[in-house]
Amino acid sequence: MKRIAIFLFALVQYQLIDGAQIEHSTSPSRQFVIYGADAKVRGSISGLAEQTKSNLLGLLRQRDDWKTPVVITLQPQQANVPELPQADLRFSQTGFGIKLQLDLTISRNVDIRLVERELLRAVLLEMMYREQPHITVGAVLVEPPGWLIDGMLALAPAHDRGTLIDAISNNEKPPSLEKFLGQRPGAVDSTGRTLYRAYSFAFVQMLLEPKPGGSQLAKYIDHLSDSSNDPLQDLKAQFPLLAGDAEKTWQEALNRLKNLQPFRLLTFAESERRLDELLALRIFEPNKQVKQATLNELAQHKLSAAEKLALDQLKRDLMFVVPQINPVLRPIGREYQEIVALLVRGKRKAVLKRLSRLDFTRQQLAARMSEIDDYMNWFEATQMNSGSGNFTGYLKAADQSQGPAPRRHDPLSVYVDALEDQVGN
């Protein structure tokens, strides 16, 4: 009976959508058509979908050239149908290409990470089959690999990679590249799932590191629909860095991440200095002196090739530094990441205004943190029953300055003391 109820519920939803009876919204790029719920919820899903796609295109350094829309249906949690999954992506061939429909069950406990993952999966599927409009009925459709989805999500600007780096560093026996590529993330426990996400992040970052990494990965995605049963050989055909000793390259990439440990949070002052160091960009141009530039300056003109390289390096540096900086400054660091990604893609609209707001916010935070430090120092020095010892020397000197200075007994001091007594009398 439950299966019949689920089927009837899905059938009613499909008929309503097909009959255009449910209100719908279209995302700004027009790729995502969202049905159901109210306008506010549809707008939130639209924003999440567009941001997910934008993050992917930014990493791949590709423009938005979609051809197949993604239909998203929103339905409330049904007490009588608890088996409905939170996110269910269905894709099939229609004779004119693929059909993509993502059914989302909206509730207070909705897992945003799961929704984001299914949205990214839908965008990747569209990219994989974009140039194949005539798919024969019954053809087997290839899924994007799990490491690609998890790695891309981990590299998105708003995601914290500190726990992933910790997981890699704490695992003494990393898997071989061939074993990692053969893993199925859905068949492991929560600990294994975290490790899989961590190694996916490391692997995708390794593929993106060389200069044309984004375009190479985009080309790899284009060929995924024709992939073989040997994922490592498919990767070697697209990525020159894996053509030699792929296992050695993989282990070296993991060691570079491990060398970032021990992972510790920087103090506020250390975080400020580190951000200032990174944001003072050094531009290297052939046969010219090295020049320094700020994001404000780069946001006011079209970028040269050397300036784009400097921003690419800054983007990679921020990716590793942001998880380590003081939590108060972490949202600011993430916004710098987003701004850098926009500048690399040539989008300068409203960037200067965002940078000005960030500068003002940093000044306010620095002043407030200075006040907090002053108060904590005063409290420790005067109010605590037991201090840390940091102010012992200062307090001793202050006490001594308030009492009479001890007399010296060298001949000159004795003469001056006697003269002072005579004058005083």
**109 and 1, same domain (yes or no):** yes
What DSSP string runs through 19-50? TT-S-EEE-TTS-EEEESS-HHHHHHHHHHHH
Q: What is the CATH number of the domain that holds 88?
A: 3.40.30
State the CB neighbour count (10 A cutoff) for residue 284: 13
Task: State percent of the chain over pLDDT 70.
Answer: 80
End-to-end CA distance of the chain: 114
What residues have CB less than 8 Å from 22, skipping those under 6 apart? Answer: 16, 35, 36
Top pLDDT among 351 and 403 is at: 351
Asked if 318 and 278 touch (Cβ cutoff 8 Å), the reply is yes
**57 and 12, same domain (yes or no):** yes
b/e map 378-413, b = 16+ CB within 10 Å = eeebeeeeeeeeeeeeeeeeeeeeeeeeeeeeeeee
* pLDDT for residue 8: 34
**240 and 299, same domain (yes or no):** no
**CA neighbor of 224 nearest in space, from 83, 125, 93:** 125
Residue 200 pLDDT > 70: yes
Residue 422 pLDDT > 70: no
Helix 351-382 and helix 268-279: axis angle, to 10°?
150
- In this predicted model, what pLDDT tens digit does every residue of 207-252 receive, in sequence order? 988 777 788 999 999 999 888 889 999 999 999 889 889 999 999 9
Asked if 6 and 80 touch (Cβ cutoff 8 Å), the reply is no
Tell whether 413 is covered by a domain.
Answer: no
b/e map 90-103, b = 16+ CB within 10 Å = ebebeeebbebbbb
Asked if 55 and 33 touch (Cβ cutoff 8 Å), the reply is no
b/e map 339-350, b = 16+ CB within 10 Å = bbbbbbbeebee
Tell whether 108 is covered by a domain.
Answer: yes
Tell whether 360 is covered by a domain.
Answer: yes
**CA neighbor of 326 nearest in space, from 372, 281, 290:** 372
**CA neighbor of 257 nearest in space, from 164, 156, 173, 160:** 164
Question: For residue 73, what are the β-bridge partners?
Answer: 35, 103
Domain interval for residue 244: 142-263
**Coil, helix or strand for 75?**
strand
**6 and 95, same domain (yes or no):** yes
**239 and 299, same domain (yes or no):** no
* pLDDT for residue 92: 79
Give whole-number Cα distances, 90 to 39, 62, 112, 211, in Å: 24, 25, 18, 35
**132 and 3, same domain (yes or no):** yes
Burial category of 327 from C-beta neighbours within 10 Å (exposed 0-12, middle 13-18, buried 19 and up): exposed
Tell whether 396 is covered by a domain.
Answer: no
**21 and 85, same domain (yes or no):** yes
Task: State percent of the chain over pLDDT 90.
Answer: 32
Query: What is the distance between the alpha carbons of residues 232 and 242, in angstroms, rounded to a whole number?
Result: 9
* pLDDT for residue 419: 62
Asked if 142 and 118 touch (Cβ cutoff 8 Å), the reply is no
**175 and 277, same domain (yes or no):** no
Query: What is the distance between the alpha carbons of residues 15 and 22, in angstroms, rounded to a whole number?
Result: 10
The H or E element spanning position 76 is strand 70-76
**225 and 304, same domain (yes or no):** no
Tell whether 410 is covered by a domain.
Answer: no
Burial category of 46 from C-beta neighbours within 10 Å (exposed 0-12, middle 13-18, buried 19 and up): buried
Q: What is the mean pLDDT of residues 398-424?
A: 59
Around 186, how many Cα atoms within 13 Å sit in the side-chain half-sphere? 4
The residue from 220, 235, 263 where one domain ends is: 263
Tell whether 53 is covered by a domain.
Answer: yes
- In this predicted model, what pLDDT tens digit does every residue of 162-181 receive, in sequence order? 788 888 888 888 999 999 99
Q: Would the pTM of this model clear 0.75, i.e. be above it?
A: no
**315 and 372, same domain (yes or no):** yes
The residue from 263, 281, 307 where one domain ends is: 263
* pLDDT for residue 1: 40
| Count of domains for the chain | 3
- In this predicted model, what pLDDT tens digit does every residue of 137-147 receive, in sequence order? 667 788 999 99
The residue from 234, 263, 292 where one domain ends is: 263
b/e map 251-279, b = 16+ CB within 10 Å = eebbeebeebeeeeebebeebbebbeebb
The H or E element spanning position 376 is helix 351-382
> What value does the mean pLDDT of the chain take?
81
State the CB neighbour count (10 A cutoff) for residue 196: 21
Q: CA dihedral defined by 112, 117, 121, 127, rounded to 10 degrees?
A: 90
State the CB neighbour count (10 A cutoff) for residue 49: 25
Tell whether 17 is covered by a domain.
Answer: yes
Query: What is the distance between the alpha carbons of residues 123 and 66, in angstroms, rounded to a whole number?
Result: 9
Give whole-number Cα distances, 36 to 46, 90, 103, 127, in Å: 12, 17, 10, 26
* Structure token digits, residue 331: 């949202």
Residue 10 pLDDT > 60: no
**219 and 351, same domain (yes or no):** no
Q: Is the dihedral of CA 58, 59, 64, 66 positive or negative?
A: negative
**255 and 273, same domain (yes or no):** no
What residues have CB less than 8 Å from 103, skipping those under 6 apart? Answer: 13, 72, 73, 75, 85, 87, 88, 89, 90
Tell whether 70 is covered by a domain.
Answer: yes
Which of 30-44, 112-126, 336-350, 379-393 bottoms out in mean pLDDT, i.e. has the lowest? 379-393
